[in-house]
Amino acid sequence: MKKIADIALLLCLAAVLFAVPALTLVKTAHNTVSYYENRSLTEQPELTAENFWSGEYFNDWDAWYADHVPGRTTLLALGTAIQMDIMGKTVVNDVIVTQDVLLPFLRYGTWDTGIYTDKAVPIADGLQCLSDYVEGYGGTFLFVGLPEQSNYFWDKYPHELDNRRWNATAADAAFYGALEERDVPYLDMGAVYDREGRPDEYYSSVDHHFTYYGAFAAYQAVMDELNRTGINAPVLSKSDLNFRELPNPYLGSRNRKLYDLWPNSEHAVIAEPKSPIPFTRTDNGQTVEATVYVLPATNTQRTNYDLYMGGDQAETVIETNRPDLPDVLIVGDSFTDALETLFYASFDEMRSLDLRYYTEKTLPEYLADYHPDVVLCVRDDTAFYTATGNGAVWN
Amino acid sequence: MVFSSVNFLFAFLPALLVCYFAVPRRCRAIRNGVLLIFSLAFYACGGPKLLGLMLASIVVNYCGGRLSAPGKKCRKTCMVLTVVVNLGLLGYYKYANFFMENLFLLGLPVAIPNITLPIGVSFFTFQGMSYALDVYRGNAEAEKNPFRVALYIALFPQLVAGPIVRYTTVAGEIADRRESLSESGSGAVRFCQGLAKKMLLANALGQIADAAFGAGTLLTTSMAWLGAMAYTGQIYFDFSGYSDMAIGLGRVFGFHFLENFNYPYVSRSATEFWRRWHISLSTWFRDYVYIPLGGNRCGRRRQVRNILTVWLLTGMWHGAAWNFILWGLYYGLLLLGEKFLWGGILEKAPGVLRHLYALLLIVLGWTLFRSESLAGVGAMVAALFGSAPAGLWSGETLYYLSEFRWELLLAIPASLPVGVWVRGALERRERGGSRPASAALILGPRVLALGLFGLSVLSLLGSSFNPFIYFRF
């Protein structure tokens, strides 16, 4: 029996040891990206005298091999399931798994939050230049600050984990303080949401963005603010819209890191005006289908936040051909996507730029060409101090 | 290359198994040749530029052995030269930076060299030296075939992180050995156990230790204790896991390396701990340094000198840094204390107290070992005794306790001879005619090994960086 057991053990181990390289060799097409990890997979290393001599070449092969092991995604999902469901870990793949929400794990740390006062200066100076320029040609500027999901749900962090509330509070205060000092008009959506009782339904439990309800609340607050300054634009109310919850499962960036294994019943919501507003849409200079949602083909396919406007675009222009209404330019990251599906209804022309991808002109050049009546700069509070992309409005 | 890497498990090892076992058993020299080539390739994967050092070590020790053998002229001079060259290489690659840094700190106008530490240099240098010394003493025969000496020094399972294998242990097996199904089976089980120790326990406990030792101003007393205990577990599972893998791989290829660990955390004194921890190193120092210095067959003052010398060298062997020297001397003083001062009292104390005494000293010792500077040692030790910058308790401690509860709980039986106890109990039942016990004895370790291997591979794919602690020595 011992002999049979030894043979069985060695055969099992040999099967694994030989199957992995054999399957890797016969696999003709290797993925280039890891969907769930949201990253590019390691490319085959190039041999150079330097990397060979130092041993880096062999290390690089190890990294490539580890990324291209057959069935890797399934194995990683299995590992995630074991950690989450069997071992009951709170933090899995850097995501905090709580009863009702997924949050990012923020490593314990401490630093002097006084640094934000200095760090805010160049960003606020840029926004001041932008604001002055827009007001200079008679337009209206508004900076819209949104809490990111982890800051919105700060009180949902398990008590033993650091939610870095101490950091976010100081960072937001320093940032808005700098805007105030420079008379840059801004809307702190965190405060608006607080006044509304910070409803859970405003932010996703599985994604770092808000839900459509949170976006709608932000849209209304921004429009109210704009109309207070004299922009006479129609504002959609809830009764003007048909809200629809999609039947598709909603993945979200946080659950994506968990290989979609966290059970949740969240679904994406969209809304269409009850009185349709005809429009044309152009993305990056190309006319595209006149829609603000990219919906999956079937009801069972997973959806993501990028269903709103089809995800991030360098430049999108929506024309509604209502010349009596003002024009708007929205600058920002992915948080603008859900907002854009609403803002277009209140303006004649809605332009949106994502400066991470838009490189044709600088923002001042763009403004000089179009002179939009309203310029909205939308940022989430984890990106306030990012000085590149949409944080570099006046470079 | 490390054993816990995709390249090793799914490229190097299968290729070696095919090439090695494709050669008929009677062609021993060719099988040895395959093993030597793969061993050199294994080392070269860490950087071919350092392969020259390994080859130099082989040549020096082969020639040293030949010229130091009994009956040769000037053999003492040759032996001394061999030792000097070995220590010179070790000194240059391992200690030159440290030495020059300290001269620089003393204000001397010296340039600090940038010398890369070759992996495993301390292990293969000591192994090579032991060969030459054993030949000189007449304990081993000088090997005429240089490839056998090369295989002894470069043999990949123990090449970069031990155990330090004596030539006398494997000389016969290099010349003639039998690879068998039974040995391969038990070797595979041992390898899987070692891999699991590394991937499932050491890496997890290492995360707690890294958090505690890197906490800085957030360090609390509770976190310091948790981190120190986690490191105590990490270093044991990391190093003994590597030794298990080395011993297991050795068995697959027909070699029988001596055990390097014997459940060190069941010790009841610091002296006993060092009889159970890194046995191949402590016996090396005993045989090649302590006894030649006079051992304990001399006056008390010389014994003190001998013990402190050995422990200073043990500390320095582990690394060119003051905390390692401090750690070595810490054990030197503890062993002296147990030998001359409180050993008698300790002997009479209840077993539980002796265990607690030993564990406390071991944990403190690892704190010295793990800290990256003398200032770090001070901060950590102060935190352990209640003077932590962030107070006594933090949520971070609770998080790590809760997040790694399974690994922490599992670490306790895994560091005790539970397997030995269970095996003993099953063997007793088997002798009484129990068939389930018999089946459990055969199937248990093998099924467990397969399960551990699967979990280790899952963990390996999910982690990007998992170096062995002892690689840097």
Q: Both B132 and B269 in a single domain?
A: no
Q: Both B168 and B199 in a single domain?
A: no
Structural domain includes residue B312: no
pLDDT for residue A28: 67
**pLDDT for residue A212 is more than 90:** yes
Tell me whether B218 touches chain A (CB under 8 Å). Answer: yes
**Local structure of A108: helix, strand or coil:** coil
Tell me whether B184 touches chain A (CB under 8 Å). Answer: yes
> Are B468 and B242 spatial neighbours (Cβ–Cβ below 8 Å)?
yes
pLDDT for residue A34: 85
Q: Per the structure, how many domains does chain A have? A: 3
- Which residues from chain B sit within 8 angstroms of residue A52, using beta carbons? 48
Q: Both A56 and A122 in a single domain?
A: no
Q: Both A57 and A24 in a single domain?
A: no
Nearest Cβ partner for B402 among A78, A80, A160: A160
* Number of Cβ within a 10 Å radius of residue B49: 14
Q: Both A216 and A202 in a single domain?
A: yes
Q: Which of B256, B278, B318, B355 is catalytic?
A: B318
Q: Both B242 and B160 in a single domain?
A: no
pLDDT digits (tens, 9 = 90+) for B436-453: 999 999 999 999 999 999
Structural domain includes residue A91: no
pLDDT for residue A299: 92
Tell me whether B54 touches chain A (CB under 8 Å). Answer: no
> Are B237 and B414 spatial neighbours (Cβ–Cβ below 8 Å)?
yes
* Number of Cβ within a 10 Å radius of residue A234: 14
> Are B466 and B234 spatial neighbours (Cβ–Cβ below 8 Å)?
no
Query: Could you tell me which of B162, B193, B157 has the C-alpha nearest to residue B1?
Result: B157
Q: Please, what sign has the CA dihedral across residues A247, A248, A254, A260? A: positive
Query: Could you tell me which of B415, B410, B412 has the C-alpha nearest to residue B452?
Result: B410
Rounded distance between C-alpha atoms, residue B31 and residue B16, angstroms: 10
pLDDT digits (tens, 9 = 90+) for A90-104: 999 999 999 899 999
How far apart are the CA of A77 and the nearest CA of chain B, in angstroms? 9
Among the candidates A69, A92, A126, a domain finishes at A69
Chains A–B, number of C-beta pairs less than 8 Å apart: 125
The mean per-residue pLDDT over the stretch B234-262 comes to 95
Boundaries of domain holding B279: 183-293+343-462
Nearest Cβ partner for A9 among B47, B449, B461: B449
Q: For residue B181, what is the nearest residue in chain A, using CA coordinates?
A: A6
Q: Both A53 and A149 in a single domain?
A: no
Rounded distance between C-alpha atoms, residue B306 and residue B435, angstroms: 54
Residue entry with tokens 């001879």: B417
pLDDT digits (tens, 9 = 90+) for B128-182: 999 999 999 999 999 999 999 999 999 999 887 778 999 999 999 999 898 999 9
Q: Both B171 and B188 in a single domain?
A: no
pLDDT for residue B464: 56
- Which residues from chain B sit within 8 angstroms of residue A55, using beta carbons? 44-49
Nearest Cβ partner for A87 among B7, B49, B406: B406
Tell me whether B422 touches chain A (CB under 8 Å). Answer: no
Contacts of A102 (CB under 8 A, 6+ apart): A95, A96, A205, A206, A252, A254, A255, A258, A262
- Which residues from chain B sit within 8 angstroms of residue A62, using beta carbons? 1, 5-7
Q: Both A258 and A348 in a single domain?
A: yes
pLDDT for residue A109: 83
How far apart are the CA of A257 and the nearest CA of chain B, in angstroms? 12
Structural domain includes residue A49: yes
pLDDT for residue B48: 87
The mean per-residue pLDDT over the stretch B24-42 comes to 94
pLDDT for residue A340: 97
Boundaries of domain holding A4: 1-30
Distances (CA, A) of A220 to A151, A152, A243, A276: 21, 18, 15, 19
| CB spacing of A62 vs B7 below 8 angstroms | yes
Structural domain includes residue B467: no
How far apart are the CA of A379 and the nearest CA of chain B, in angstroms? 31
Query: Could you tell me which of B198, B197, B207 has the C-alpha nearest to residue B400?
Result: B207
| CB spacing of A10 vs B10 below 8 angstroms | no
Structural domain includes residue A95: no
Rounded distance between C-alpha atoms, residue B135 and residue B142, angstroms: 6
A-contacting residues in B 16-35 (Cβ below 8 Å): 17
pLDDT for residue B61: 95
pLDDT for residue B365: 96
Structural domain includes residue A24: yes
Q: Both B391 and B373 in a single domain?
A: yes
Q: Both B215 and B143 in a single domain?
A: no
Contacts of A76 (CB under 8 A, 6+ apart): A36, A37, A259, B458, B461, B462
pLDDT for residue A232: 87
**pLDDT for residue B307 is more than 60:** yes
Half-sphere exposure of A232 (CA within 13 A, CB side): 2
> Are B132 and B65 spatial neighbours (Cβ–Cβ below 8 Å)?
yes
Q: Both A57 and A154 in a single domain?
A: no
The mean per-residue pLDDT over the stretch A208-223 comes to 97
Structural domain includes residue A158: yes
- Which residues from chain A sit within 8 angstroms of residue B200, using beta carbons? none
The mean per-residue pLDDT over the stretch B59-85 comes to 92
Rounded distance between C-alpha atoms, residue A353 and residue A358, angstroms: 7
Q: Both B145 and B203 in a single domain?
A: no
Would you give the end-to-end CA distance of chain A in angstroms? 76
Q: Both B194 and B230 in a single domain?
A: yes
Range with lowest mean pLDDT among A182-191, A296-305, B116-125, B302-311: B116-125
pLDDT, chain B, mean: 92
pLDDT for residue B463: 76
**pLDDT for residue B472 is more than 60:** no
- Which residues from chain B sit within 8 angstroms of residue A90, using beta carbons? 399, 402-403
Q: Both B149 and B190 in a single domain?
A: no
Nearest Cβ partner for A53 among B17, B45, B49: B49
Structural domain includes residue A83: no
- The DSSP symbol for B254 reads T
Rounded distance between C-alpha atoms, residue B315 and residue B325, angstroms: 5
> Are B134 and B140 spatial neighbours (Cβ–Cβ below 8 Å)?
yes
Q: Both A48 and A157 in a single domain?
A: no
Q: Long-range pairs for B429-434 at CB < 8 Å and ≥24 separation?
A: none
Mutation test of the interface with chain A: which of B394, B399, B435, choosing the one with the most A Cβ atoms within 10 A? B399
**Local structure of A388: helix, strand or coil:** coil
pLDDT for residue B161: 79
How far apart are the CA of B139 and the nearest CA of chain A, in angstroms? 37
What is the band of A228 on the pLDDT scale with cuts at 50, 70, 90? very high
Q: Both B90 and B198 in a single domain?
A: no
How far apart are the CA of A60 and the nearest CA of chain B, in angstroms? 10
In this structure, which amino acid lies at residue A207?
Answer: D
Structural domain includes residue B127: yes
pLDDT for residue B296: 83
Half-sphere exposure of B2 (CA within 13 A, CB side): 24
Q: For residue B463, what is the nearest residue in chain A, using CA coordinates?
A: A66
Q: Both A366 and A298 in a single domain?
A: yes
Rounded distance between C-alpha atoms, residue B151 and residue B174, angstroms: 8
**pLDDT for residue B183 is more than 70:** yes
The mean per-residue pLDDT over the stretch A363-385 comes to 96
| CB spacing of A58 vs B7 below 8 angstroms | yes
Structural domain includes residue B319: no
Q: Both A139 and A64 in a single domain?
A: no
Q: Both A58 and A21 in a single domain?
A: no
Among the candidates B118, B144, B177, a domain finishes at B177
Rounded distance between C-alpha atoms, residue A193 and residue A184, angstroms: 21
pLDDT digits (tens, 9 = 90+) for B407-416: 999 999 999 9
Range with lowest mean pLDDT among A39-53, A263-277, A288-302, B261-275: A39-53
Dihedral (Cα; B24, B27, B30, B32), 10-degree rounding: 100
Q: Per the structure, how many domains does chain B have? A: 2
Nearest Cβ partner for B181 among A7, A66, A160: A7
pLDDT for residue B473: 55
pLDDT digits (tens, 9 = 90+) for B373-383: 888 999 999 99
Structural domain includes residue B451: yes
The mean per-residue pLDDT over the stretch B29-34 comes to 95
pLDDT for residue B470: 61
* Number of Cβ within a 10 Å radius of residue A3: 11
Structural domain includes residue A336: yes
Q: What are phi and psi of A61, to 5 degrees?
A: -65, -40
Q: Both A215 and A345 in a single domain?
A: yes
Alpha helices in B115-161, H assignment, sequence order: 121-137, 146-154
What is the band of B31 on the pLDDT scale with cuts at 50, 70, 90? very high
How far apart are the CA of B378 and the nearest CA of chain A, in angstroms? 21
Structural domain includes residue B321: no
Q: What are phi and psi of B3, to 5 degrees?
A: -65, -35
Q: Both B28 and B156 in a single domain?
A: yes
Q: Both B226 and B96 in a single domain?
A: no
Half-sphere exposure of B215 (CA within 13 A, CB side): 30
Rounded distance between C-alpha atoms, residue B285 and residue A304, angstroms: 63
The mean per-residue pLDDT over the stretch A31-36 comes to 84
Q: Both A241 and A330 in a single domain?
A: yes
ipTM, interface predicted TM-score of the complex: 0.87
**pLDDT for residue B127 is more than 80:** yes
B318 carries an active-site annotation: yes
Among the candidates B162, B177, B192, a domain finishes at B177
Structural domain includes residue B330: no
